[in-house]
Structure 1
């Protein structure tokens, strides 16, 4: 009887994981709405055609690398290799911050090349790009905050909690925001190109 109950509990989806999946579905719908609106609005006569900043390619490579380090951090945690886990979770957080810095540099590049993202003199095409990538950056920053909390916990000698749930939730979210950026990068290159 006890083994059956334990087996059923292991098969259940943890409440934190369930909440994450609901949140990711909402975020996915939001970005689907943003990109659908972008497609509809680009047919307006005042739509400005421009290429993505070259630095966005570098930020894409950085976020892909961060996905790999996050995956390896999760594997290290499961193997109880805490030294490697600490290094990899730190590298992942640093790569997340670097992604945000590169995106900000991309916005600056656009401003310098006459594509104003917000305010008077802005064009809907630049504003759409600014809003969509800006909202994505906010989600990445949220992920970086979670990684910083995990970093602090990893170096806390008093805490010996080896629950897989936090690393699995953080990893799933991190891979999700990475996939959203890949989608947006491809979308902007195809639709804007």
Structure 2
């Protein structure tokens, strides 16, 4: 075999393994958050548990992240039609909404703090520590998603994606939609289970 054939075979093998590897990591993240929310439910039986309303910023951020996912989904549809410019613009919109989401999460943390609900310290409660801790872990995953989107934006700008070669875009979109769906789950979990 010559060098070119070896490179092609390696590329094919990489493409075949990329999505399964991503799905394995998403399953492990799902298990991580399932464990955290299970611990939350068990801890609710404590005598010092405090119930409280979710900050309004969490409601707004839920709408924002849904819109971000929709823009990314439509961006991928335009890419499949080789409408590179429109796909790129929608991708940028999805990225900007992701940044707004992270800022709204921060605003939600500040709202909890201004209500006297602290993550740590003498004034903290188990319930606020859980909600802020779980939400913070999600924000870390969102920041990873934002880094993924930056890579996708860069590659898109360099014209590395087309209807014939969308693997990198697809992987980024799968991860982004996962963290979006994860937040929706966490939001409804916190909303209904207090």
Pick from 59, 62, 73: which aligns with 1:60?
62
CA-CA distance at 1:121 after TM superposition:
2.2
* 2:76 is the alignment partner of 1:74: yes
The 5 A counterparts of 1:68-147 are 68-147=70-149
List runs of 5+ in structure 1 lacking aligned partners.
Answer: 1-9
Provide runs of 4+ in structure 1 moved above 6 Å: none
Aligned residues: 181
Query: C-alpha deviations, 1:24-51, integer Å up to 9, x for none?
Result: 0000001110000000001100111111
Query: C-alpha deviations, 1:97-146, integer Å up to 9, x for none?
Result: 10000000000000000100123321110010111111111111111111
Cα 1:38–1:77 shift into 2, 3 Å: same
CA distance in 1, matches of 2:105, 2:74: 25
CA distance in 1, matches of 2:70, 2:136: 23
The answer as to whether partners of 2:57 and 2:108 remain within 8 angstroms in 1 is yes
The 5 A counterparts of 1:172-183 are 172-183=174-185
3-state SS of paired residue (2:119):
coil
TM-score normalised over the length of structure 1: 0.89
The 5 A counterparts of 1:140-179 are 140-156=142-158, 159-162=159-162, 163-179=165-181
Provide the alpha-carbon RMSD of the alignment. 1.8
Cα 1:43–1:190 shift into 2, 3 Å: same
Query: C-alpha deviations, 1:139-169, integer Å up to 9, x for none?
Result: 111111111111122222xx54532111111
TM-score normalised over the length of structure 2: 0.88
- Which residue does the alignment assign to 2:7? none
List runs of 5+ in structure 2 lacking aligned partners.
Answer: 1-11
